[in-house]
Structure 1
Amino acid sequence: MGPDEISRFVHDSLLEPAIESSPARLDGPLRRRVVCLVTVVAGALLLRASLSVAPGDRLFYPATASLALLWLVGARLSGPVVPGHAHSSRGGRASHAVVQSLVWGGLLLVIFLAGALVVSQVPWLSVPVQDLLDHARRGSLPIVALLTALNGLGEEYFFRGALFQALPRHRQVLVSTVLYSVVTAFSGIPLLVLAAAMLGAVVGLQRRATGGFLAPTITHLVWSLGMLFLLPSALSLGAALFG
């Protein structure tokens, strides 16, 4: 893929806004905004509570499942949410931006895994992440993976779905990313806040480019599940290389 193809890919998948004709944006905007505000506050508090559960404690599973359910229910109660479409390389619209999303999810994963090599040498960043990964080490990895996927789906359905549609068009990417980062800050894990800002910016641009939450969801799932399975090895490699 040459420079022109790469430039076209970035433009089509992130930078060219979709032409939206979504009645959901006009369907009870005040109700949508109130529901979104309540959901954001409740989600921040529930995130804090779920991550305060000690690794290995089975209470972590229902607490994390409840958080995913909150995002999904909050988004649904706010009104209709649209899936969106992608721009194709030949113009027009592709089906649902699956390939584009897989590429962006993979790129984000590579960037964060490379960064983990450095993070492994910074205790105030690496220790909270290691504590978070202990939920998978001391619990059931398949269940944690399922909950990770459900929370990724719920977050995108809410933040790049319902919340995005509740915001003024020219501020959607910025405000949704900021609110996503603020909510993530309640986790008390600095690296997660940085991840939320970077991931939120990319999927926010994807949301604007595709007109719906589906493309951001695929990107989010590729990144989050990849981090769950590969981050421990990246941190260990960083410690071995630079320790």
Structure 2
Amino acid sequence: MMQATRRDTTNRIRRSVLAVVVLVGAVGYSVSPATAAPGSVQFSSASTNVDEDVPSFGIEVVRSDTSDAASVGYVVSGLNDNGSGGRDFTVDLGTATGTVSFAVGQATADLTITVSDDVNGEGGTENFTFTLLNPINIDTPLDLYTIGAQATHGLNITDDGDAGDIVFSTSASSTNETDVGTTNHNISVTRTNGSEGAVTGRVRTVTGGDATVGVDFGPVNTLLVWADGSASVRQVAVSIVNDNTVENDEEIDLAVTNT
């Protein structure tokens, strides 16, 4: 009897871990461009120094992004501190606040100043400060502008020194005749609106009055002198010829001029 031997034919399977790498095809995508920094606007310099006799000039404002139209406002301080009340200069349309505008492609614009060369002796230098505010991108309002580092600009106006005007203290005066002889009637003359430097003025008789020179009064041709810094009143004597003739009131006309 034959004994059969049974062999185990089961394959022994060596277990191993397979690392499966799946290459996935590249999928199309887009990268958004980096958002550009907002444009800035500022003064190109810190200050301007001018003499009062300069008619007009511009304070330059610059911006970094010129792709759109834009504007920026400004305000002026120091008016009351200097006691000027806006008399020393006007800005653009005569106001102390306003707007500077830029067209597309325009990188610089001037804030135009018109200086008032007045006759007031302010003495020394008057100081004002311009400050930029409220920048606006006109074409693309959502693309905001910013104010740059040079947000302020100092304006210093130096008084050019005024010699002043020589004028009569009053427009008219009167006196009474006596019966005989001559008397002097004094006319006051003053220097106004400045006292820088030495000046002279002349008072003289002019035609127009009905009093007769040499008969009713003596001719007037008087030179007056003021030293530097002086503005005191000067007196001019008009010699009145008195008589006992009954007559109507008579007028003497005088003129004063700077010489």
TM norm structure 1: 0.21
Larger RCO: 1 or 2 (CA < 8 Å, sep 6+) = 1
**TM-score, normalized by length of structure 2?**
0.20
Bigger radius of gyration among the two? 2
Report the structure, 1 or 2, having the larger strand content.
2
The structure that is helix-richer by fraction is 1
